[in-house]
Structure 1
């Protein structure tokens, strides 16, 4: 298929050249620091279930792992971390079975990344931790979307307690994160997801359960947390979000790390125009987003076009991000419906990556989530304008991603 690669590279070169020139023109000035960190304690216990949003999620992750007496099942990125590995060592000595599903997307970025990856695997082996590795290229082929990654963030302890959210267990978990911690009222659903993921990763994602399919109609008959994302009963995150935005009558609150999806954007703007009195507020991450296209690394302005369109539509939007912290949470509140996920509000997450989220309709959880969002809102800031060059660069890379998707479809068709 060398002719296809040559055609793709020749077609893409002008776009990369223009984008590179625009990047060179960007000022090196960093965004001004925002307010100091927020730690928002949750009044509810793990037994009751609670939503956490803030920049100190690690103690919550450690606390749920410490609960384990029989088993720990995890899906998230890990880094060499003495606190975590010491915990694993103690738990293994107590007879706790530990299994982890990892994604290898960072392993080949550089020699430094490879060394980190090898160190993590060596430590897991020495501790007797079972692991399955999701191969990035196999997942891209199975899902049919460039840049697809295994992106879930899940902890399941003794099949009794769980965490679903946006945070990994790495040096970056001091960013603004989101997570739901609670008891597994529907433990069979959680166990099914983990077992399916573990074996699918070992089998190069050949499981038909991860193919794209439509959601059934969602029914909120109780206050249990419903799992959403590929391989669950509700695999289509995009249509789920569009449905909840459309159904909301009083309030829509959204926090996003990365947001470019035009369908989500249009639905939010149409909602505001149709119902001017509805409270719509959005917190976006700002800063530079690392992007790898066709073997080259770039940093592009994050969420520029999405942010600009919301501002022009009169929607209340603030940004969070500086040199040391960024908003990594993915969250939505639609009246009393609470949504949280590892998925970004982008086509790559909706169609390609394997993410995991939750959705629940519960008045008390909604009120707690609203207070958490307000705390993030208070430490975020308004952005006066989005520059033309930021919008252009953002647009060029969105176009490049679509070109990449087009050529991948040709490649998959040619391969039969």
Structure 2
């Protein structure tokens, strides 16, 4: 029987102070009351008061777990919560059993043990604090369970210990087999790297074929399958090779370098943790100077650096935007390093970035955070504040549509500075960079 507020006697029991014997009687006669809600969409779970730790003024209110001490009140409230969950489980199984098609299925469901976590997650009316509380209790009890399991393990009989020794021996043999296969793979990769140094170029394939024995195919196959080979062999070998002056002045530089960069892109695609090393490799190629080299023309040098910039844009899309923009800003900031990227290459790089960055939103809502993170905003602003970048982007050679998109992006960066400052998440140095960006490009 419900009143005008659609509340059952169970709801009023909580208002008057829940006594275990009364709750037991009510839930035994009507377990469906545990999941019933009133006009305010409040269930009996919402009326259970749990003790929570005090929050300081600077602590967030979201996701704060409920804790239970060893007091009598907390034990009483935990008993109430378990009674409600058992009643809800019974009501849920009862409603499902009416829809079941076979008696075997009903018997199987009846034999299933009561799991508070499963019941709480399955119901949409259980507060999140209660679910966190159950998880906390499970975690605290799992420690003692593990300890008992270890005690039973050490007190096992000789037969069990003999069986465990056999299992340990099999695990050791399996580990030795894995180590042997890994050593074989690494040795094969080292031989392939030596062969690459003696060839003019190799072909990088996105889907290498196991039956193809060519150097490029085998390199791609090993780099794609093994993170150890990709990180410790391929990238380190490529980095050491690119650092050498002999390689820059060699006849195979113009043909072998594109293959190495393509292999680095393949590695960054399949092994995310290798992307910082790929960035280091690309920056080495961008620092290469060809004034003393007669084996490479200006067009070949430009094509190679454009490939490097495309790889940087790929890394930006893969989450390396702050690192990429910071490295380019450092490259353009020095007088000696500025020659590594001329104005045409800067426009090529920024134009490619504008194609992958959403510049449609030109304003920042006061109630909504900016579309870009603060590290990306500041790092890209620092790059665009360099003299070489500003001169290249403000020239008439930069396409009108890309310049319009750039102005929209800068306007978004400048307007986001107020949002970051309002929530005290930006330093004075970063604010100065964004202000300088607006002044340099005449954006208020």
More strand per residue: 1 or 2? Answer: 1
Shared fold, TM over 0.5: no
TM bracket, shorter-chain basis: under 0.3
Largest Rg, 1 or 2: 2
TM-score normalised per structure 2:
0.26
More helix per residue: 1 or 2? Answer: 2
